[in-house]
Structure 1
Amino acid sequence: MFIYAWLIFISPLVGFVLSYLVGIKYRNWSGIIASTSIGLSLLFSYLTYLQVNASGPIHESVHWFYSINYGIYVDHLSIVMVLMVSFVGLMIHLYAMHYMGKDPNRHIYFAETALFTAGMLGLVISSNLVFFFLFWELVGLCSYLLIGFWFFKPNAASAAKKAFIVTRVGDLLFLAGMALLYTHLIGFTGLNGSSPLSIPYLINNAGAVAAHVGKVTLGIVSVLFLAGAAGKSSQFPLHVWIPDAMEGPTTVSALIHAATMVTAGVYLVARLFQIFQASAPFALESVAILGAFTAIFAGILGLVVNDLKRILAYSTISQLGYMLAAIGLGGYLAIGISGVAYGMYHLVVHAMFKALLFMTAGSLLLAMMELRDVRRMGGLWKRMPVTVTLMFIGSITLAAIPPTAAYFSKDAIIDAAWTYFTGSGYGFISFLPWLFMVVGALLTVLYTFRMFFLVAFGKPRSKLAEEAKDPPLHVQIPLFFLAAFSLGFGIWQSHFYDYIHPSTPIPSAPIYIEAIPWAFIVIGIVVTYYLYGTERWKHFHFSDNPLYKVVKNKFYIDYLFTNIIAERVILPISAAFSTFEEHYNTSVDVVGHGTMKLGTFMRRIQDGIIRNYFVVLISGISIIFIIMEILRLI
């Protein structure tokens, strides 16, 4: 047993217990304990990385019950994830010690974030889908607890319930996919002693699984898995929980959006890519189109939002769309499993700059008493130069401006989409991913610099903005590390691709196609500076535009879910079932009371007097003979 691999998720589990127990008496120790436990996870992840490089994948499995095993499976894909989760998680925890430093329940907060991190790390290295699903649900539970951490705020409590319910929809479909796959594989002789839901078996024997299960059935299983991923990774139409989740502490938002939770769905599809690839073509096509559509859809919504954290939330949804689309592009054989490398590279890069953006946003909110409306900020680059400079680095990385890391990750995905289009015979369906993502690149620049110019430029538009100051420099040290990776991680692009999948090709489109995202960067910056780098935006009345109203109302999807599906469909059905249950319970109660009365009567007959027993016996025999005689005469 390679104990270091197990300790990757066991360490923060221990940190969860100690953070809470010690923190009850010594509040400030809770953050130190949680951060230390995740720092140890990073160390154990690195030691496991060395072992995987030296000896290959680590697979340790123990029989659990029936045909289900539990254990760990660590290969190049999972080691990249645990290194990212533990490193970014550590940076967020170190910053949270300042951000949550005055919260009276910070020991509960750090216990929950340690458990959250443990769930994500356990999910990544699980060797069986059942074990994977348990950690998957633990991550969902922790997100509910952390989004609603400030439960005394009605919006936070409501957002926590919304996140829990919406993600449960995807989880149910994921569970259905597991059940369907299990029922088709149980008893399959090709298992050779493996558990039917063993992850290494499924990915190493995807062809045999497809031959036994059938490509169409396996495609249905894959689409059900995709639905689970859509819930966790907030893909359309299950994206609605993410913006409301901003009611939690900003460091929770950073943890959810950068290192945990939302990356779990993308990882699920990447982990089971071979199953998607071996199934019917519609499986990976669904992944590519869903991801690409989510990228452009969330980008449109990000244009009209004024809440700083919600702008970042919609950017997360959009960037997750790019990751998922990249994996789906692997349906084209010339790209193949390289699509996983593209998606995972953007996932890692996104984790760096999105954690940076959320934590700089956290510094702004601390300085301005949780003021989140970007229209009331302004002039903060002069008043908070360090924080806003770090935000600028995160912003240019989000916009994929060269030579930042996202330029290498996102443009590679867009080029891969063009290769997918040309290599599949120039079909309209295969054109959509490129179209959606290249327009999404323009939208990214627009909403990013709209946010940044409103925050940094001009004059302060509120008293809180006038009085804002940078936090102490030592507090921002974790942000410097993230900024350095955001700027420089592109250096490792080719090495990263080769590590995930040797000889991964770097697609290149014709120069006129590659120039389109660059042109969009210039157009986006010029347009947003013209409108928001000055005070001109105050003179434009976008709200009068009917299309603006539709976008501002999020295309009425929340209205559809809440006012129609929940209130007009689910509530009446629940009321009907409740009424039926009440009547059913009444009938059960009547039968129960009748039985009790009969029992009471029978107990009274049992009085111990022989002559009474004899009378009952003779009466019973007489009744039986009378009934028999009547039946004979009939």
Structure 2
Amino acid sequence: MEQIWIVPALPLLAAAVGAALGAGSRRLAAGVAIAGMAGALVFSVLALVGVLGDQAAGRALAYANFAWFDLGARSFDLGWLLDPLGAFMLVMVAFVGLLIFVFSTGYLHGDRDAVRFFSFLSLFAGGMFGLLVSNSLLLLFMFWEVVGVASYLLIGYWFERPAAAAAAKKAFVTTRIGDLGFLLGLLWLHEAGGTLLLYDGGRGVLEDAVLGRLVGTTALGGLAVSTCIGLLFFCGAIGKSGQFPLHVWLPDAMEGPTPVSALIHAATMVAAGVFLMARVYPLLDADLVLADAPLHALTVVAWIGAITALFGALTAIAQHDIKRVLAFSTVSQLGYMMLAIGVGSWVAAVFHLLMHAFFKALLFLGAGSVIHAAHHEQDMRRLGGLAPRMRATFATFAVGMMALAGVPFLFSGFWSKEGILHAVEAWEVSAVPRWFALTAVACTAFYMTRLLVEVFLGRGPRSEPLREHPPEESPAVMVVPLQILAVCAVVLGFLGTPAWPWLQSRLAGTPLHFDPAHLLEGAGLMFVSIALVGAGIGLAWWIYGVKPRERADARDPLERAAPRVYAVLEARMGFDALYAATFGRLFAVAARVARVVDERGLGGLVDAVGGLGRFAGIGAKEMDETAVDGSVEATATATRDAGRAYSKRQDGDARSHLRTVAVGFALLVVLLLLTGGGR
């Protein structure tokens, strides 16, 4: 526990070293970044082993707080925290991040700015590590913003491209909207609870004394203060994790290099929002004791998660960019995680978050391998038939596709998804989120099968450049990380099966029992889920596999069948256009008004003050040159002339001088006699 700060420190140090290197030090920068992540992985594994040992000894968590600074009577404390949730997340981020770093050395081979890229990657990872081990919400927020800045830098890495620069700004501004809510929640929590430490010997915000005060205090509308603060925190999670309605930045983040997309969608930025909700779950759950409360924070989380899961899955069906399909898939899967938290199963959400990190990193890196081999072609309509030429990429991508689709019983995504579905089924508030989730299951299997068929199967590439220069398999430095992730996408799922839920028991700190009979619990829902997966895969194969697309410009079969619906889905259900027509125009009008006020109002006032200053300066100049300088020069001239006249009298004749004295004395005597001075 005492050395846990080393985990974020190593990547941050690597980022600093990379920033100091010259542009020609690409190999050194990559080596430093990889070494930083490898060191972080070693310390993360040691931390996990220590946590599991402490858990077996009856200790659930360890923390260390320290004073940052005092402001009047208030002291701002920071601290480090290590518990099973943070430890498992540390290992996942370090392991997946290390593979992405290694993959990047091949993907960006020859890139002239690779030194800057690896420095930004290390900054990104360091920010995420710091967020995971913070015992203070203030410190967590600091690292939260480091992650946001790093994502801006990486999404806009190719800033000379207008689309990349615009996507970076869009991501930064959109997530700041959610972060404003998070910040307001922090201020409110500090005012109401008196601290921002999560654990502090019974005085932390996640401990009973403070939680009791927050639940027992009512805010506007009859809501408990804990509910209001929880909803403000959820605003930050909505922005970071691309939840509806702040999801619009996440698909556009694909403008960055593919390893960046993998890091954002698998291990870092979007995972931060889900982690935050899991970390503060006791705060979200506290108001459930108020049976007559008008609203519970977890209810809002559940509905937003359900809407996001369905929205992302439907939209992914009509996308053509290979990375954009995966981006909307991430939106949907994050919705599943939020839904699980909302219905009261944060453990199921974290289990899916951990499993999703491995197979989503696999899918994005697999897409990167395709893009690298296909001369940076990303449009699925122009690809096709790559499986014979890229066997390793195809095989590993197929594993990731089946894990994401939830193919039973071999793949990790099946077990983690089933955990969420069973938690949703037990939610008594409403059955609608369950139907949303099940619909998303079928859609996920459909669009992932469509993606696999369009890219790897068929009769060959559909664009002339790819026919002339056929893609070849990527180098080993890119393929080996894919193979490792593919193994993880299969093996890790068996750590959380209903028969032996080892991972869930370690997260929750509950006893572990092996019982094969638990596999049959909720068998009806499981069979429904399996049937939906089979239907989605079969339908996609029938539409796209039986009669593959012949030409790149051929219309999509779904577009021919339902052009209006397809157009709506292809346009992302119009949210980007809606925001551009409302908020975008509002901000544009506000910018024009600000410009007019600045140029004609404030600018005119500044010009007037400047003119007055210039007038005062001219007056002061004239006063100085004519009055002051003139009088000084006149006095000097008169003194000089008098001196010259007197000097002419100094001829050295003593008799003349005595006569002058005598005459002067006589005149003085006469003057005294005339004025009566002699009386």
**TM-score, L = length of structure 1:** 0.87
TM-aligned CA deviation for residue 208 of structure 1: 2.2
2:559 to 542, 547, 553: 542
Aligned-partner SS, 2:168: helix
Aligned-partner SS, 2:67: strand
Q: Which residue of 2 aligns with 1:189?
A: none
1:483 to 476, 481, 486: 486
Q: Which residue of 2 aligns with 1:276?
A: 284
**Do the aligned partners of residues 592 and 473 (structure 1) sit closer, same or farther apart at CA in structure 2, a change above 3 Å counting?**
closer
TM-aligned CA deviation for residue 72 of structure 1: 1.2
Aligned-partner SS, 2:77: strand
Q: Counterparts of 2:282 and 2:465 in 1: how far apart (Å)?
A: 53
Q: Which residue of 2 aligns with 1:445?
A: 445
Q: Counterparts of 2:19 and 2:106 in 1: how far apart (Å)?
A: 18
1:470 maps to 2:473: yes
TM-aligned CA deviation for residue 119 of structure 1: 0.5
Q: Which residue of 2 aligns with 1:415?
A: 422
2:584 to 566, 569, 578: 566
Q: Which residue of 2 aligns with 1:190?
A: none
Give, as a single letter, the amino acid of the residue that structure 1 aligns with 2:491: G
Q: Counterparts of 2:278 and 2:519 in 1: how far apart (Å)?
A: 19
1:318 to 332, 346, 358: 332
1:520 maps to 2:521: no
1:389 maps to 2:389: no
Give, as a single letter, the amino acid of the residue that structure 2 aligns with 1:21: A
1:455 maps to 2:455: yes
Q: Which residue of 1 aligns with 2:5?
A: 6
- Which has the larger displacement, 600-609 or 38-47? 600-609
Aligned-partner SS, 1:203: coil
1:502 maps to 2:509: yes
TM-aligned CA deviation for residue 581 of structure 1: 3.6
Query: Is the 1:419–1:507 Cα contact (8 Å) retained in structure 2?
Result: no
TM-aligned CA deviation for residue 235 of structure 1: 0.4
Query: Is the 1:170–1:232 Cα contact (8 Å) retained in structure 2?
Result: yes
1:258 maps to 2:266: yes
Q: Counterparts of 2:587 and 2:475 in 1: how far apart (Å)?
A: 51
Q: Counterparts of 1:585 and 1:411 in 2: how far apart (Å)?
A: 63
TM-aligned CA deviation for residue 255 of structure 1: 0.6
TM-aligned CA deviation for residue 21 of structure 1: 2.8
Give, as a single letter, the amino acid of the residue that structure 2 aligns with 1:521: V
2:495 to 483, 487, 492: 492
Q: Which residue of 2 aligns with 1:170?
A: 178
1:529 maps to 2:546: no
Aligned-partner SS, 1:63: strand
Q: Counterparts of 1:504 and 1:563 in 2: how far apart (Å)?
A: 54
Query: Is the 1:457–1:534 Cα contact (8 Å) retained in structure 2?
Result: no
Q: Which residue of 2 aligns with 1:17?
A: 16
Aligned-partner SS, 1:345: helix
Gaps of 5+ in 1: 187-194, 331-338, 610-634
Equivalent residues in 2 for 1:234-313, closer than 5 Å: 234-279=242-287, 281-313=295-327
Query: Is the 1:23–1:30 Cα contact (8 Å) retained in structure 2?
Result: no
TM-aligned CA deviation for residue 261 of structure 1: 0.5
Q: Counterparts of 1:23 and 1:587 in 2: how far apart (Å)?
A: 47
**Do the aligned partners of residues 213 and 35 (structure 1) sit closer, same or farther apart at CA in structure 2, a change above 3 Å counting?**
farther
Query: Is the 1:341–1:504 Cα contact (8 Å) retained in structure 2?
Result: no
Q: Which residue of 2 aligns with 1:616?
A: none
1:369 maps to 2:375: yes
Aligned-partner SS, 2:66: strand
**Do the aligned partners of residues 475 and 581 (structure 1) sit closer, same or farther apart at CA in structure 2, a change above 3 Å counting?**
closer
Q: Which residue of 1 aligns with 2:350?
A: 344
TM-aligned CA deviation for residue 144 of structure 1: 0.8
Query: Is the 2:11–2:36 Cα contact (8 Å) retained in structure 1?
Result: yes
Q: Counterparts of 2:459 and 2:123 in 1: how far apart (Å)?
A: 43
Query: Is the 2:79–2:197 Cα contact (8 Å) retained in structure 1?
Result: no
CA deviation digits over 1:156-185, x for unaligned, max 9? 111111111111111111111112222223
Q: Which residue of 2 aligns with 1:184?
A: 192
Q: Which residue of 1 aligns with 2:62?
A: 58
TM-aligned CA deviation for residue 60 of structure 1: 1.7
CA deviation digits over 1:387-410, x for unaligned, max 9? 100000000000011121111000
Q: Which residue of 1 aligns with 2:431?
A: 431
Q: Counterparts of 2:135 and 2:558 in 1: how far apart (Å)?
A: 55
Q: Counterparts of 1:22 and 1:513 in 2: how far apart (Å)?
A: 56
Query: Is the 2:103–2:477 Cα contact (8 Å) retained in structure 1?
Result: no
Aligned-partner SS, 1:382: coil
Aligned-partner SS, 2:431: helix
Q: Counterparts of 2:337 and 2:199 in 1: how far apart (Å)?
A: 21
Q: How many residue pairs were aligned?
A: 585
Q: Counterparts of 1:593 and 1:209 in 2: how far apart (Å)?
A: 60
Give, as a single letter, the amino acid of the residue that structure 1 aligns with 2:368: G
Identity of aligned residues (%): 34
- Which has the larger displacement, 295-304 or 580-589? 580-589
Give, as a single letter, the amino acid of the residue that structure 2 aligns with 1:578: R
Aligned-partner SS, 1:383: coil
**Do the aligned partners of residues 577 and 523 (structure 1) sit closer, same or farther apart at CA in structure 2, a change above 3 Å counting?**
same
Query: Is the 2:205–2:211 Cα contact (8 Å) retained in structure 1?
Result: no
Q: Which residue of 2 aligns with 1:627?
A: none
Q: Counterparts of 1:218 and 1:401 in 2: how far apart (Å)?
A: 40
1:406 maps to 2:387: no
CA deviation digits over 1:472-503, x for unaligned, max 9? 33532222221111011111111110111033
Q: Counterparts of 2:11 and 2:520 in 1: how far apart (Å)?
A: 42
